């Protein structure tokens, strides 16, 4: 194995531990703020076009099991907000971080992740299907900062090679 391959494997394998430590020691309001701004930046065209109006007033709980981290996403006419869980959610997604990375970077068919139960959905499954179909029509990698795009691409390719 080349040095570059060893580094990439180390990054992929160590990613959950590093991120979980960062989340553990970061104030919740900072994490929520960064995540809210990131979601709004990535989905701004879809928000402005009204493509996400079906999600307004709904609450999605996302549990990243290997990070031990859970958060809720809601939206209104102003966009997305990541909030601390405060009531029963309409929909729950759970899975490991690498599955969400593959979903986000469109490296695998989302249905495969759901049917293999690598990402689990409970609650309003119609809402879940709408979210999944919306994500399938958005190229998130084109909307993330150019500096991060090669990193996400390399990491997701390494995940494909080693975990799926």
- Phi first, then psi: give them for residue 159, nearest 5 degrees: -60, -45
Give the pLDDT score at 18: 65
The residue ranges of every structural domain in the chain are: 3-162
Give the pLDDT score at 20: 66
Of the candidates 98, 134, 90, the residue with the CA atom closest to the CA atom of residue 119: 98
For the chain, which residues score pLDDT lower than 50? none
CATH architecture classification, 3-162: 2-Layer Sandwich (3.30)
Edge-to-edge strand list for the sheet holding 59-64 = 79-83, 69-76, 59-64, 91-95, 119-123
Give the pLDDT score at 19: 67
Assigned token pair, 40: 């709004």
Give the pLDDT score at 102: 84
Give the pLDDT score at 17: 64
Flag whether the pTM goes above 0.75: yes
């Amino acid at each position: 194995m080349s040095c570059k391959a060893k580094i990439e494997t180390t990054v992929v394998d160590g990613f959950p531990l590093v991120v979980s430590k960062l989340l553990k020691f970061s104030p919740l309001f900072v994490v929520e703020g960064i995540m809210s701004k990131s979601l709004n930046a990535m989905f701004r065209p879809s928000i402005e076009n009204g493509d996400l109006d079906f999600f307004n007033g709904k609450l999605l709980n996302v549990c990243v099991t290997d990070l031990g981290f859970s958060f809720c996403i809601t939206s209104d006419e102003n966009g997305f907000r990541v909030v601390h869980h405060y009531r029963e959610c309409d929909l729950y997604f759970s899975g490991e971080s690498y599955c969400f990375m593959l979903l986000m970077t469109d490296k695998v068919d989302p249905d495969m992740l759901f049917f293999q139960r690598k990402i689990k959905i409970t609650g309003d499954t119609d809402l879940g299907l709408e979210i999944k179909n919306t994500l399938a029509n958005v190229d998130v990698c084109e909307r993330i900062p150019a500096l991060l795009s090669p990193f996400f691409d390399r990491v997701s390719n390494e995940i494909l090679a080693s975990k799926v």
